[in-house]
Structure 1
């Protein structure tokens, strides 16, 4: 699973990949969601229309 992990000095997005054991998707989703909530790295792109 890939999750947002911040941006570079140039403003380019950086992602982090989380790997797990086969058929352990629930754990991966829990870890990925927890990481996103704890770090607040996910932001809406500027090109998104409200």
Structure 2
């Protein structure tokens, strides 16, 4: 799962990050915290709220 935020993600200057995905965050959903984040983001999207 990837998502973006407002304001934009701070530039970390990592050279290994794909430039097209640089402003995206990622989370694995195979852990409790990842599933909790996924649930929260789904709720936010469904209510058309900004992150």
Give the greater-gyration-radius structure (CA): 1
TM-score, reference length from structure 1: 0.31
Structure (1 or 2) with the greater strand fraction: 1
TM-score, reference length from structure 2: 0.31
